[in-house]
Amino acid sequence: MKTIDQLKLTGERALIRVDYNVPLDEGIVDDNFRIRASLATIRYCLDQGAAVILMSHLGRPKGKVVEEYSLLPVAEELRNLLGKEIVFSRDCCSDKALEVSRTLQAGQVHLLENLRFHPGEESNDPDFAAYLAKHGTVYVNDAFGTAHRAHASNVGVAAHFKEAGIGLLMAKEVQFLHEKMGHPAKPMVVILGGAKVSGKLELIRNLLEKADRMLIGGGMAFTFLKAQGKDVGKSLVDDALLEEAGAVIRLAADKGVELLLPTDVVAADNISPSAAWPVTPVSELDQDEIGVDLGPESCALFGSAIMGAKTILWNGPMGVFEYAPFQTGTEIVIASIIEATNAGAVSVIGGGDSAAAIDSLSDPKHFTHISTGGGASLELLGGQSLPALEALS
């Protein structure tokens, strides 16, 4: 698999698959993290004397033109960030858009409209992929967030190029999520949170092969606590996975991995900023109470467990951090990771909710690497191959 520095770019048209699936608020980009993450690759291609054509999806328009999912607001945000005019086409595979790409001069940037306005994108239609390929003479995939999907713009299109490879962002994602996490400096601490266990069991099993200590918080912790026989009130539980959660607890013990779960929680009778929120030991949750954050004892336990780590992987917040009363656990984890990173640890953050928590409560510069991929990062960390990378191998 080639990286962008191995590609001939001078005088070429670089067709770059980026991930601009960003949140919008009334037609304005609300979080430009993924756009900022793409700038290094775009600037590299421009500096090498290439014209740049960018393609991305946004939302789930399901193969139809849905104006609220137009990439036009992204074009405006990209223009501001890049400090360069952006040519925007209202379709990704019209003859007019193709003519714009073919007449693009070195140093110019062309953004195509939402790929998912066409059903051929998600079905990996070969004709749609072939048409997209006409936009460029060199193909670069820098959209890690979609690397776990076999779509036309990241799998089908690759077969049409002799010169193809991954961008700087994709290379960095592979370096940290695959190489650094595959052979971590010890001790390694894994912190998992978020709402649900489903989709993370394979990840957990794979990480138990490498971790020295695993901390589980957030809503997913209650499935493990219930598997231990604890009454967790109305807290979120995936009852269908209780047996597998119990098997994970036993596997951790067999492998000598210290598995830490909350001992106390912030409880509430509903999830809202106005809810009463007493602190209670896990074993004393009332039947109508929901665990919404780590309690002070658990915060101290988790914070202490992170100290001294040489490798840290964090995926998922510790509570409903969107509401101020329920964000302390996530704040403590963030502060502890920063302290360990400052002491020399490699800290890798995976998942959109974790990145959002950092944007809200801290600063990305304090961490070694923050992944732009949600599902892709989970699958790569879980030991699975990614179709978009296979297509370029």
Active site residue 375: yes
- Specify whether the CB–CB gap between 354 and 316 falls below 8 A: yes
Q: 43, 90, 134, 196: which one is catalytic?
A: 196
Give the number of residues written for the chain.
393
H or E element in which residue 52 lies = strand 51-55
121's tokens = 């994108």
Distance of alpha carbon 330 from alpha carbon 80, whole angstroms: 32
Q: 136, 167, 303, 352: which one is catalytic?
A: 352
H or E element in which residue 304 lies = helix 296-306
How big, in percent rounded to 5, are the helix, strand and coil portions of the chain?
40, 15, 40
- Specify whether the CB–CB gap between 226 and 219 falls below 8 A: no
Q: 13, 17, 34, 116: which one is catalytic?
A: 34
Distance of alpha carbon 371 from alpha carbon 356, whole angstroms: 11
Strand-pair category, 213-216 with 346-349: unpaired
99's tokens = 């003519």
DSSP bridge partners of 294:
265
Q: Which residue reads 């658990």 in tokens?
A: 298
Which residue blocks in the chain are alpha helix, DSSP H? 33-47, 72-82, 95-102, 119-122, 126-133, 168-174, 181-182, 201-207, 221-227, 242-255, 296-306, 328-342, 352-361, 375-381, 387-390
Q: 59, 63, 246, 375: which one is catalytic?
A: 375
363's tokens = 């600063």
Q: CA-based Rg of the chain, rounded to a whole angstrom?
A: 22
Active site residue 352: yes
DSSP per residue, 312-372: EEEES-SS-TTSGGG-HHHHHHHHHHHHHHHTT-EEEE-SHHHHHHHHHHS-GGGSSEE-S
- Specify whether the CB–CB gap between 295 and 302 falls below 8 A: no
250's tokens = 């036993």
Distance of alpha carbon 32 from alpha carbon 9, whole angstroms: 27
Active site residue 34: yes
Active site residue 59: no
Catalytic residues: 34, 196, 352, 375
